[in-house]
Structure formats: structure tokens, C-alpha cells
Amino acid sequence: MKAYVFPGQGAQFIGMGKDLYEQSELAKSLFEQANEILGFNITDIMFNGTDEQLKETKVTQPAIFLHSVILAKVLGDDFKPKMVAGHSLGELSALVMNGVLNFEDGLKLVSKRALAMQKACEKEPSTMAAILGLDDEIVEETCKAIDGVVVAANYNCPGQLVISGSINAIDSACDLLIEKGARRAIKLPVGGAFHSPLMEPAREELAAAIESTNFNEPTCPIYQNVTASSVMSANEIKENLIAQLTAPVKWTQTMKQMITDGCEEVVEVGPGKVLQGLFKKIDRKFPTSSAVFEI
């Protein structure tokens, strides 16, 4: 059984999607449509901008979504998922490609999500840090013992858990986790504490947009970040997508559940190979590949 997975923030690079734009008329029309929907030429930044321009949350998230979704669409009949999943932002890409959202609504929600998250980040200085080489339970218990806001945010793979919270709390947690045996505690170059309670203002803003958007029943199961389990109900998908901004991304649990449910091969759709690498941490022999458009 083949699954398609969609990456999240951090996978971007200058030039992303340019080959699609130049080689496919369908891709070109979708990119031009995106420029109109967003109200600025995101293609100019994606193809020829600077790293700093592309790193802005309001640009990064739509850019990754566009690269992923447009690549999947130009695959045409070759795109035949039996199950889908997306890491954080990538969940919205997955929801377009299993028929829950149309392209325009998906892009509008991504844009609103990005702007809401950016505003929430500006309200309180906050950040994230990757903790390597410790059991999840030790990281979770340590976070609970720290004064201030700090929580487990991204269960990326066994031995890699990202924590999220206020800057002082993150600093304290990193020091304590190193004392407890973490191989490394790396502060990440992000704008704020994603997937933590500090994203509550963004969650409320996005909830209103999601509630007013039409969600169709999916054509195949999506494994959502909040539950790490198969979902086939449009209403349940909405609830989980709203909860996602303040809840942890259970990617390790998602990968294990997909394999348990019969996933035999994973195709990553979008920039980079991060998700393929995470699946290899579950089973280094597990078949993974990148989606490729060929004329």
C-alpha cells in the first residue's frame, strides 16, 4: 500500500517549483492563480528571491504548500494514494490532495494560518529546540518540571523530539536535558513557539476560517498530526486541524501507525527529503522516494 506524505516548514529553498512552472502548463496556471489569490507574486520570491524573503512565515508556508500540491497535481494519473499525511503545514497539502479541500480554499487557509502564526509569535518572544538522544518520556517529564511555558511539540522520530515555548523556559529545559543525557539540544531558527499554548491566538483566528470553509469527505484516509490515526470524517478532520496549532505533531506515532495499517511504501511530495529520512529512522530498509515530474 502506497502512502504520500507532505513536508512542513523548513523544507523551502530558492528555486523551488521553477522547473514545474517552466515545464508544465498546468503548473504555470496554478502558480499564476496563486499569485492572484495571495495578492503578491510569491513565484518571484520562490524562484528568484533571497533566503531571508523566503524564510518569512507568510511566504514560507504558502511556498511549500504550492510546491507540494502543484507537484502532486502535475503527476496526474500517477498520483494514486491509498493514505496521506503531512507534517504540520503539510497536513493542508495532504487535505487538498485527498479531495477534502480545493486548491483555492487550501491556499487561503495556508495564508491565514501563516499570518495568524506570525502575529502570535510577535506577541511573546518564544522559540523551539530539537532534543536529540533521549527517550520521549524523559523530555516530557523535564518540560513539566520547568517554570514557564515549554512543551513537547514535534515527535519527529525516535530520539528526536522538538520542544516549544518561551525563550527562558526553553533555555532552562535545554540545560536540564543535557544534564539528563541528551546528546544535543539545538535551538531552532524559527519565529516562535509553534504547536504550543502560545499559539492559542492563532488557533482561534484559524478556527474561524476553517469553520467557514467547505470540507469534503476524503477520497482516502489522512493520518492527522493530533491523533496519529486514520481519519475519514470531514467534521473530525476540521476539529483536528484546528487543534493542531496548539497540540504536538505526533509524527513518530503517525509513521508507526501507517506501517501497522499496511503502508508498504512512502512517496514524499514537495521540497526536500526530510520525511523520508524520518521514516528511515523507524526502519532503515523501508522503501521511500521523492515524487518526480517527468515531461
Chain CA centroid to CA 239, Å: 17
Cα atoms in the 13 Å half-sphere on the side-chain side of 200:
5
Q: Is 88 a catalytic residue?
A: yes
- Asked if residue 95 lies in contact with residue 238, where contact means CB atoms within 8 angstroms, the answer is no
Residue tagged 479531495 (cell numbers) = 99
Q: Any catalytic annotation for residue 289?
A: no
Active site residue: 24, 164, 195, 196, which one?
Answer: 195
Contact, 172 vs 143, CB < 8 A? Answer: no
Cα(292)–Cα(295) distance, integer angstroms: 10
DSSP 45-112: HHHH--HHHHHSHHHHHHHHHHHHHHHHHHTGGG---SEEEESTTHHHHHHHHTTSS-HHHHHHHHHH
CB 15 within 8 A of CB 276: no
Strand 2-6, strand 83-86: pairing: parallel
Burial class (CB in 10 A: 0-12, 13-18, 19+), 79: middle
User: Cβ atoms within 10 A of the Cβ of 291, count?
Assistant: 18
Q: Which of 116, 115, 30 is nearest to 68 (CA)?
A: 30
Catalytic residue among 24, 88, 93, 166: 88
Q: Which residues are catalytic?
A: 88, 195
